């Protein structure tokens, strides 16, 4: 298939964009792409590729932007129920970690999730996933973490594997058994830490090798935070995970800076996530409620953006909204935010060699937007600008909140 007549083809070619390289879109005006068998086989101008592939079936991009599909590198996609009541409490002034300490927060979602069947979990998660897809997310990371005991954590993994199988969107799965101290261990956080490190992780490895032998091992993540797992407990879990061969992620410095970002660097984690309160060494903290993205760029970090979609802190399914917010709150340009949600976020889940850009040999995961200029992304919000999603070479026309094969 020859996709032609893109006003701007954003290739994002050249690999993850570190520091001030962020925002290199690699634009081809009047761009075109040839796709065969799920893969990109040619990238160029419409004139060039029409000449080179005269007999190829065509898809007209209609003088709109053609860009890589969004990669959402951090979500807590699978849970049961909602926490609209706590949202009201928070807007009334109560702090997130105080709600958690009072047995609400993550723990209230854990209660709802533990009692939900596989079918219920899948039925409640599926529409979120499809809405993400219709808003242009072609790959998403998805964490467990609302089970906090082996049986439920494994049910969440099973449900995620089933959703990955049935849906057009690809999932990169993460085990987050260390998302909060399980209620059974309320007064014994070290006991739960030992349980995760010494019992759950070895069991997970065995389970994964039987249930998903063809997939790479999942990431292992820890919520490293004052009222969750302290630095030493986080180190214990992540070190054990690493010795079992799992790639690592970490929730670091979200509410308090207790050293999680440095731990991520020390252990070679694939990403350190949140970093809202990361200290002056090495990145510098502006007293703000958003991650100091510009300082991370100045410090030569590879910046990626995610929805963090979860029922507690942010139920947002749209990477387009993330971009709009990052432009305004973190002072990113649209080009920087686009790179941070495609090639760089692919890098954060260690998939930058297969997705995140439009280059020959890569998986054909692309978006045709309904606008002619990439700067409309970020400028506009609250409206879905995605017209068509191309996933592994298949074209899906997006209607509001749903998708169908073209
Ligand atoms: O990334 N911080 C920990 N986990 C989530 C929130 C989960 C929840 O509140 O349910 C986060 O913000
Ligand atoms: Fe998170």
Ligand 1 atom at minimum distance from 180 CA? 3
Confidence of residue 402 (pLDDT cuts 50, 70, 90): very low
- Summarize the confidence of residues 89-112 as an average pLDDT: 89
Instruction: Report how far ligand 1's centroid is from the alpha carbon of 355 (Å).
Output: 27
* 275: its two tokens: 């970093």
- Summarize the confidence of residues 239-265 as an average pLDDT: 93
Confidence of residue 199 (pLDDT cuts 50, 70, 90): very high
Q: Domain-by-domain residue ranges, the chain?
A: 2-69+356-405, 71-348
The lowest-confidence range among 153-157, 189-193, 290-294, 314-318 is 290-294
Provide residues with CB under 6 Å of ligand 1.
Answer: 76, 105-106, 109, 223, 251, 254, 308, 310-313
What was the pLDDT predicted at 190?
A: 98
**Domain 2-69+356-405 fold:** Urease, subunit C; domain 1 (2.30.40)
Residue 284 predicted with pLDDT over 50:
no
Instruction: Report how far ligand 1's centroid is from the alpha carbon of 106 (Å).
Output: 7
* 90: its two tokens: 């928070």
What was the pLDDT predicted at 283?
A: 35
Indicate the average pLDDT of the chain: 93
* CA-nearest residue, atom 7 of ligand 1: 312
- Summarize the confidence of residues 370-374 as an average pLDDT: 96
CATH code for the part of the protein at 71-348: 3.20.20.140
Ligand 1 atom at minimum distance from 274 CA? 1
- Out of 106, 221, 227, 309, mutate this one to test ligand 1's pocket (max ligand atoms within 8 Å of CB): namely 106
- Out of 90, 313, 322, mutate this one to test ligand 1's pocket (max ligand atoms within 8 Å of CB): namely 313
Helix (H) or strand (E) holding 171: strand 170-178
Instruction: Report how far ligand 2's centroid is from the alpha carbon of 266 (Å).
Output: 20
Instruction: Report how far ligand 1's centroid is from the alpha carbon of 71 (Å).
Output: 19
Residue 32 predicted with pLDDT over 90:
yes
Instruction: Report how far ligand 2's centroid is from the alpha carbon of 207 (Å).
Output: 24
* 16: its two tokens: 């993850």
254: how many CB neighbours lie within 10 A of its CB?
A: 23
Instruction: Report how far ligand 1's centroid is from the alpha carbon of 75 (Å).
Output: 9
187-223: b or e for each residue (b if 16 or more CB lie within 10 Å)? eebeebbbbbbeebbeebbebbeeebeeeebbbbbbb
What's the whole-model pTM score?
A: 0.95
Ligand 1 atom at minimum distance from 308 CA? 1
Instruction: Check: CB of residue 79 under 8 Å from CB of residue 156.
Output: no
Ligand 1 atom at minimum distance from 79 CA? 10
Residue 262 predicted with pLDDT over 50:
yes
Residue 403 predicted with pLDDT over 60:
no
Residue 206's alpha-carbon distances to 153, 179, 217, 219, 245, in angstroms, are 14, 21, 10, 15, 12
């Amino acid at each position: 298939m020859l996709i032609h007549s893109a006003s701007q083809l954003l290739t994002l070619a050249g690999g993850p964009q570190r520091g001030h390289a962020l925002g290199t879109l690699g634009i081809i005006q009047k761009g075109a792409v040839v796709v065969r068998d799920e893969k990109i086989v040619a990238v160029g101008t419409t004139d060039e590729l029409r000449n080179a592939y005269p007999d190829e079936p065509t898809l007209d991009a209609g003088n709109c932007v053609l860009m890589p599909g969004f990669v959402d590198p951090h979500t807590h996609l699978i849970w049961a129920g909602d926490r609209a009541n706590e949202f009201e409490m928070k807007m009334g002034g109560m702090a997130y970690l105080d709600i958690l300490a009072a047995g609400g927060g993550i723990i209230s979602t854990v209660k709802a999730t533990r009692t939900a069947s596989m079918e219920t979990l899948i039925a409640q998660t599926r529409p979120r996933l499809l809405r993400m897809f219709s808003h242009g997310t072609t790959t998403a990371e998805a964490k467990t973490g609302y089970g906090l005991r082996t049986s439920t954590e494994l049910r969440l993994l099973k449900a995620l594997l089933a959703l990955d199988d049935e849906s057009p969107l690809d999932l990169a799965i993460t085990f987050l058994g260390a998302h909060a101290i399980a209620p059974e261990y309320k007064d014994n956080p070290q006991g739960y830490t030992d349980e995760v490190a010494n019992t759950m992780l070895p069991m997970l490895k065995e389970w994964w090798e039987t249930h998903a032998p063809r997939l790479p091992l999942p990431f292992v993540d820890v919520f490293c935070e004052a009222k969750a797992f302290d630095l030493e407990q986080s180190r214990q879990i992540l070190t054990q995970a690493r010795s079992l061969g799992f790639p690592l992620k970490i929730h670091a410095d979200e509410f308090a800076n207790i050293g999680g970002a440095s731990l991520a660097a020390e252990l070679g984690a694939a990403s350190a996530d949140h970093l809202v309160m990361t200290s002056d060494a090495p990145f510098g903290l502006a007293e703000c409620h958003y991650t100091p993205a510009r300082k991370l760029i100045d410090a030569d970090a590879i910046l990626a953006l995610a929805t963090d979609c979860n029922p507690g802190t942010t139920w947002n399914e749209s990477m387009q909204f993330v971009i709009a917010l990052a432009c305004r709150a973190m002072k990113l340009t649209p080009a920087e935010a686009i790179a941070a949600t495609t090639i760089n976020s692919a890098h954060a889940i260690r998939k930058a060699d297969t997705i995140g850009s439009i280059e020959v040999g890569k998986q054909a995961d692309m978006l045709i937007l309904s606008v002619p200029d990439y700067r409309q992304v970020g400028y506009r919000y609250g409206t879905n600008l995605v017209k068509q999603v191309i996933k592994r070479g298949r074209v899906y026309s997006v209607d509001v909140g749903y998708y169908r094969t073209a």
